[in-house]
Amino acid sequence: MAKVKGSPVYRLQVVPHRPLKSALIIGGIALLVVAALIGTYEYAENKASSERLTLQQAQDLRAQLAKATEEIAELRREQTKYQVSAEVDRQAGEDVRKKVLDLREENAALQRDIDVLRIMTSDKNKNPKGISFGVFSVSSLPDSKHQLKLVVQKLAEGDDEFTGQLRFMVVGQRDGQEAKISLHELAVAKADTEPMTESIPLNFKFFQNLETEIVLPAGFTPVRVELAVKSDSVRNSAVVEAQLEWPEIK
């Protein structure tokens, strides 16, 4: 006997239709969102208001800033004034130092003249022309150079010329030992003048200025100079010698 297949049976559930409830749920969610937005805005507004300066506070800050700016400007003016004053004092001190050095050099030269005159009046006069060394000075120049000056003079009466040769040795310390260097080795050669020789020619009636630029070797500290003047005269070929301390550099 053939089996008869029936149609499938579906279970149905009756749900009541309540449109008001759905609308209330959607409306509640919307209110919550709006409330959250309003709360966020009010929080941000309150935060900004708490951090915003009042008009009085802004005016006070401007006044404090203006006062601080003026005080800084006044301090800068005072600093400039003190710097100028310090520079003037330094320059004045340097001028005084140089004047003192000049007086020392002149005093030393006068003392040498006195010594020469004393020798000239003695019975054993080995310096009849009265050859003496006047002012001896050394001043600083740019590029590690120095200006050296020495006056060679004749104290004896008469206007007869003196001719001779000067040997000039600089004595100092180098590497812990004494070293001697001839002036012509230290002298700076110039294009418009003849190079200095070891024996410096002298020719004068009353005095002769020796002036030259020098460069001291690295590690060499001058202490004194040794001078020797020899006359070209056959009748008086005596050698006048002297030692002078190296002066303080101006």
Collapsed DSSP state (helix, strand, coil) of residue 14: coil
pLDDT digits (tens, 9 = 90+) for 186-232: 999 888 888 899 999 999 999 999 999 999 999 999 999 999 999 99
Collapsed DSSP state (helix, strand, coil) of residue 125: coil
Structure tokens at 146: 């120095």
pLDDT digits (tens, 9 = 90+) for 25-35: 555 554 554 45
CB-count burial class (<10 Å; 0-12, 13-18, 19+) for 188: middle
State the Cα–Cα distance between residues 72 and 25, nearest whole angstrom.
68
Q: Is this structure's pTM higher than 0.75? A: no
Collapsed DSSP state (helix, strand, coil) of residue 165: strand
